[in-house]
Amino acid sequence: MVSLSMVLIWLAFVRGLLPGASAGKPEKTQLYIGGIFPMTGGGWSGGQACLPAALMALQDVNYREDILPGYHLNMIHNDSECNPGIGTNVMYRLIYHPPPKLMLLTGCSSVSTHIAEAAYMWNLMVLAYGSSSPALSDRKRFRTFFRTHPSAVLHNQARIRMFQYYQWSKISIIQETQEVFTSTIEDLEKRAKEANITIATRQSFLSDPTNAVRSLKRQDARIIVGVFYEDMALKVFCQVYKEKMYGNRHVWFIIGWYPDNWYQKVEENDVNCTVDQMREALQGHFTTEMTMRSLDDTPSFSGLNVSQFDEELLIKLNNSDPNDTPGYPEAPLAYDAVWALALALNQTITRLTEKGVNVGLDKFTYDNSTIFREFYRAMDSTSFQGVSGPVQFLSTGDRLTLTQIEQMWDGRYYKIGYYDNKNNNWTLNHSIVRWNGPHPPYDRTLVVEDLRLVSMELYVGMCSSALVAMLAAFGCLVFNVLNRNVRYITMSQPGLNNIAVLGCITCLSCIFLFGLDNSSLSEDQFTAICQARTWVLVVGFTLAVGSMFSKIWRVHRLTTRAREEDKVVEAWKLYALLGLFLAVDVIIMTVWQLTNPMTRYLEEFPQEVPEGSDDIVIQPKLEHCTCDNFTIWLGVLYGYKGLLLLFGVFLAYETRDVNIKDINDTRYVGMSIYNIVVLCLITAPVTILISSQQDATFAFTSLAILFCTVITLGLIFIPKIMNYKQKSIEETSQPLQAPGVTQEEEEKQKRLQEENDTMKKQITQKEERIRELQKSLKELLKEGQKMTNTFLAPPGVGRLQATGNNFTRLSASSMASSRYRGKAPSISFDVGNETIERVPDHVMLPTVKVTLSDEPAEDGGQFESFL
Ligand code: ABU
């Protein structure tokens, strides 16, 4: 034990650790620097590896005769706990407790910021071995600040490059509320903007990241940059595990300077997750960190190459696991920082000598700017090969290095590439980059727009039906035109019927337009179709319903007006009425289109997640035609058409019993109007209710149009076609009018024809009656003749006695035909007190009077004859 202590003491003397170690040599002048190391506490406790590295450097510097000859460099240090308050306290103690310190060595950005901001007031330089905050690059604020630790902006350049490479254009950020991280993120935002990368959300937290992580989840963050100290990283990823924000849908980018086993310290940091859970949450995440060890084994100015440095450091760390030691990655920076200041001090001696200032470095005081100025310049121009690589300071006091990118897999970090910030080059070993899923995650949930389209089968079915109906309508039109001179057709207002057919065809063509959607149209085309189909349907409806309305109105006039001249409705008036309806349509539609043109509107439905896909959601959408004040315009149109239909129904009801021969389709037209009203009453509200179901809406609307048109055509034309078939061509094809006969004359002719027919019927009936009476008379005369032969009677007067039971006395009288020529003859029968008289028209017959009596005749019955 004693011998081991002796060896160590000897080594210490040999390495110049102890003052006065160089026994026999002139006493060295002691120089002091202050060291502020974060050894404990939260945040970054990198002092645990950096302090031994710095002490190692001091040893090596003091060992070298050519560096600071005659001086022995000492460091008085204390723990800042990475806490700005404690760090500032340590600084004051170092400053106000002699001896004066030539420089302060710091780590942990939040401490360095406070110290570096104040140090210039004591002519003190600050050299940071462990401060990454980009804020520290502000020379105006941190006038005497240098650092061997590169700025965190170098992370950002590498990150942006990665985002671009994997085509991630939307990222999210979570940060601990510390200036170091805020300034890092500000720089990241600036660079992201330049690279056209969107920051979807930026969450910050002070000590509990729970809500921030939840918020990221709510915002569907996928590519997430997290900047926080190691203790917070544990909390963040425990929450990430709980929120399931890892795996094949997420990529995390965090800081790479935590020790490799940082995630295992769950217990000591009171984190409510197991190591396995942490490992699971961290699987596949990326880290970025500046290279802190030389990439090759080139010996540094100190004589050590990086491997030798690590070996020595391990001894200093008592062979504790470097992966478990905070600050182990930064240890070369602390080693090089001491070398940098030693070399700068060395340079200062030379500079002072050159300037003829014969004052030793030990004469430095906080108000001595001479030494300070030279020291600053020397530091500014420092350039040497360190164990961390080339050490050189920019005008901002920063240092440039490569950025190293690593990925964790199964709890281990693997180097996957480097980014050369100076030359903007990068090398990425793609073969070792792994993903939790089959491909790199997407930077957002892919929202796949799914336009709900009318089913093709339904569209084809409805269009085929519409086509058949249109052909049938066309057939009706042809029939009507070809037989326009057939009396039966002529008397049914064929012109208006033709217009009704055209209206039906127009409405049917709407079915083709209603089914057109995004599958066949562009957005602009759809907007055009929106306008077109409204016009087509409105005009078609008016043509069909308006022409039937005109017809039924004419019949109504004909049957309800008392005066003959009021009954007459000239044909031009019917067409004018139809024209009026169309004009109202055109006015409404034009004003509508000009003030609130119809446009395409996409109705969005709740998103659907397809089975087996985490990255894609389906966003169902449905195209509609709409405009501003759509309901008002619809109300105007429905109101107008509704009134037309309502009035049409009234007229149809009023004329329901009218059966005017040759205005032969009145009743059918009325029925058509009823049918249209009923279908419209059903269709209009139902289509509004089911408007979100494209197939149902299309089917319902199309069927309504089909029913309306087909029933209308059927009611108007089937009876005509049947009638046409029944009647012989000779009967029906007699031309009614000579060419050149006016419509008015035609009407008059029709009325006369009707009257003539009615009278003919009456004549036929009367002729029949006359025939019956003549027959009866003849029989009576025959009977009379017989009786005259039986009984004696004076000439001209006969008396006869009936022997039958039914009547006992019969008298008959007749007048000589010569006396009554030109008057209507009559025959009368007296039965009891009643006389029955019949006067046949147009027949010149003698009057025979026959009296029937129940009483027995005194003379046994008498027959009087005037023949
Ligand atoms: N690499 C450690 C940096 C620590 C800090 O900037 O606070």
Are 109 and 179 in contact by the 8 Å Cβ rule? The answer is yes
**589 alpha carbon – ligand 1 mean position (Å):** 71
Which atom of ligand 1 is the closest one to the Cα of 109?
Answer: 7
Secondary structure letter of residue 801 according to DSSP = B
Which atom of ligand 1 is the closest one to the Cα of 329?
Answer: 1
Are β-strands 251-255 and 286-290 bridged in parallel, bridged antiparallel, or unpaired? parallel
Tell whether ligand 1 has an atom less than 6 A from the beta carbon of residue 131. yes
**44 alpha carbon – ligand 1 mean position (Å):** 6
Torsion from C-alpha of 603, 607, 608, 610, nearest 10 degrees: 110
246 falls within a domain: yes
Co-location of 49 and 127 in the same domain: yes
Co-location of 670 and 535 in the same domain: yes
- Among residues 351, 378, 399, the one where a domain terminates is 399
- Among residues 704, 725, 746, the one where a domain terminates is 725
Co-location of 40 and 125 in the same domain: yes
Tell whether ligand 1 has an atom less than 6 A from the beta carbon of residue 130. yes
Which atom of ligand 1 is the closest one to the Cα of 44?
Answer: 4
**767 alpha carbon – ligand 1 mean position (Å):** 130
Tell whether ligand 1 has an atom less than 6 A from the beta carbon of residue 151. no
Are 833 and 848 in contact by the 8 Å Cβ rule? The answer is no
Helix (H) or strand (E) holding 90: helix 84-96
Q: Kindly state the tokens that stand for 422.
A: 């100076």
Torsion from C-alpha of 738, 742, 744, 747, nearest 10 degrees: 30
**228 alpha carbon – ligand 1 mean position (Å):** 10
Co-location of 141 and 239 in the same domain: no
609 falls within a domain: yes
449 falls within a domain: no
Co-location of 159 and 115 in the same domain: no
Question: Which of helix, strand or coil describes residue 537?
Answer: helix
Which atom of ligand 1 is the closest one to the Cα of 255?
Answer: 1
Give the residue among 503, 234, 18 at the shortest CA–CA distance from 9.
18
Tell whether ligand 1 has an atom less than 6 A from the beta carbon of residue 257. yes
- Supply φ then ψ for residue 831, to 5 degrees: -120, 105
Co-location of 276 and 299 in the same domain: no
**412 alpha carbon – ligand 1 mean position (Å):** 21
Amino acid letter for position 448: V
Instruction: Evaluate if pTM is beyond 0.85.
Output: no
Which atom of ligand 1 is the closest one to the Cα of 289?
Answer: 1
- pLDDT for 380 equals 93
Co-location of 486 and 552 in the same domain: yes
435 falls within a domain: no
**132 alpha carbon – ligand 1 mean position (Å):** 5
Helix (H) or strand (E) holding 758: helix 743-790
Tell whether ligand 1 has an atom less than 6 A from the beta carbon of residue 674. no
Are 399 and 147 in contact by the 8 Å Cβ rule? The answer is yes
Size of the chain in residues: 867
**107 alpha carbon – ligand 1 mean position (Å):** 7
**152 alpha carbon – ligand 1 mean position (Å):** 9
- pLDDT for 565 equals 63
Tell whether ligand 1 has an atom less than 6 A from the beta carbon of residue 83. no
Which atom of ligand 1 is the closest one to the Cα of 152?
Answer: 6
Co-location of 487 and 627 in the same domain: yes
- pLDDT for 199 equals 96
Which atom of ligand 1 is the closest one to the Cα of 257?
Answer: 1
Q: Judging by beta carbons within 10 Å of its beta carbon (0-12, 13-18, 19+), is residue 716 exposed, middle or buried?
A: buried
- pLDDT for 527 equals 86
Are 625 and 518 in contact by the 8 Å Cβ rule? The answer is no
Return the best residue to mutate from 181, 232, 255, 257 for the ligand 1 pocket (most ligand atoms within 8 A of CB). 257
Tell whether ligand 1 has an atom less than 6 A from the beta carbon of residue 132. yes
Instruction: List Cα–Cα distances, 15 to 11, 62, 73, 353, 378, in angstroms.
Output: 6, 7, 12, 28, 26
Which atom of ligand 1 is the closest one to the Cα of 112?
Answer: 7
Co-location of 139 and 159 in the same domain: no
Tell whether ligand 1 has an atom less than 6 A from the beta carbon of residue 388. no
- Among residues 725, 743, 770, the one where a domain terminates is 725
Tell whether ligand 1 has an atom less than 6 A from the beta carbon of residue 287. no
End-to-end Cα distance, the chain: 186
Those residues of the chain that have pLDDT short of 50 are 1-23, 730, 732-733, 735-741, 791-867
Which residue's alpha carbon is at the smallest distance from atom 2 of ligand 1? Answer: 130
81 falls within a domain: yes
Residue at token pair 């699987």: 283
Co-location of 582 and 503 in the same domain: yes
**327 alpha carbon – ligand 1 mean position (Å):** 9
Integer Rg of the chain from CA: 58
DSSP assignments along 115-179, one per residue = HHHHGGGGT-EEEEEE---GGGG-TTTSTTEEESSPPTHHHHHHHHHHHHHTT--EEEEEEESSH
**71 alpha carbon – ligand 1 mean position (Å):** 31
CATH number assigned to the domain comprising residue 709: 1.20.1070.10
Tell whether ligand 1 has an atom less than 6 A from the beta carbon of residue 180. yes
**154 alpha carbon – ligand 1 mean position (Å):** 13
- Supply φ then ψ for residue 169, to 5 degrees: -110, 10
Residue at token pair 């509320």: 177
Question: What digits encode the pLDDT tens for the residues 566-613?
Answer: 666 677 888 888 899 999 999 999 999 899 988 888 888 888 888 877
Question: What digits encode the pLDDT tens for the residues 172-198?
Answer: 999 999 999 999 999 999 999 999 999
**296 alpha carbon – ligand 1 mean position (Å):** 24
Question: What digits encode the pLDDT tens for the residues 411-420?
Answer: 999 999 999 9
**180 alpha carbon – ligand 1 mean position (Å):** 8
**604 alpha carbon – ligand 1 mean position (Å):** 48
Are 153 and 255 in contact by the 8 Å Cβ rule? The answer is no
826 falls within a domain: yes
Maximal C-alpha separation, the chain: 207
**643 alpha carbon – ligand 1 mean position (Å):** 81
Co-location of 512 and 471 in the same domain: yes
Which atom of ligand 1 is the closest one to the Cα of 132?
Answer: 6
Tell whether ligand 1 has an atom less than 6 A from the beta carbon of residue 227. no
746 falls within a domain: no
Return the best residue to mutate from 136, 148, 180 for the ligand 1 pocket (most ligand atoms within 8 A of CB). 180
Question: Which of helix, strand or coil describes residue 405?
Answer: strand
Which atom of ligand 1 is the closest one to the Cα of 46?
Answer: 2
Domain count, the chain: 4
**255 alpha carbon – ligand 1 mean position (Å):** 9
DSSP assignments along 13-38, one per residue = HHTT-STT-STTSPPPEEEEEEEEE-
Q: Judging by beta carbons within 10 Å of its beta carbon (0-12, 13-18, 19+), is residue 251 exposed, middle or buried?
A: buried
3 falls within a domain: no
Domain that residue 781 falls in = 759-867
**151 alpha carbon – ligand 1 mean position (Å):** 9
Give the residue among 378, 134, 453, 414 at the shortest CA–CA distance from 283.
414
Q: Kindly state the tokens that stand for 747.
A: 């009407």
CA atoms of 492 and 408, how far apart (whole Å): 90
CA atoms of 861 and 436, how far apart (whole Å): 136
CATH number assigned to the domain comprising residue 303: 3.40.50.2300
Residue at token pair 């199964």: 410
Which atom of ligand 1 is the closest one to the Cα of 149?
Answer: 1
Co-location of 475 and 548 in the same domain: yes
Torsion from C-alpha of 707, 710, 715, 721, nearest 10 degrees: -160
Helix (H) or strand (E) holding 461: helix 456-482
Amino acid letter for position 732: T
Tell whether ligand 1 has an atom less than 6 A from the beta carbon of residue 230. no
**32 alpha carbon – ligand 1 mean position (Å):** 25
Are 648 and 552 in contact by the 8 Å Cβ rule? The answer is yes
Tell whether ligand 1 has an atom less than 6 A from the beta carbon of residue 44. yes
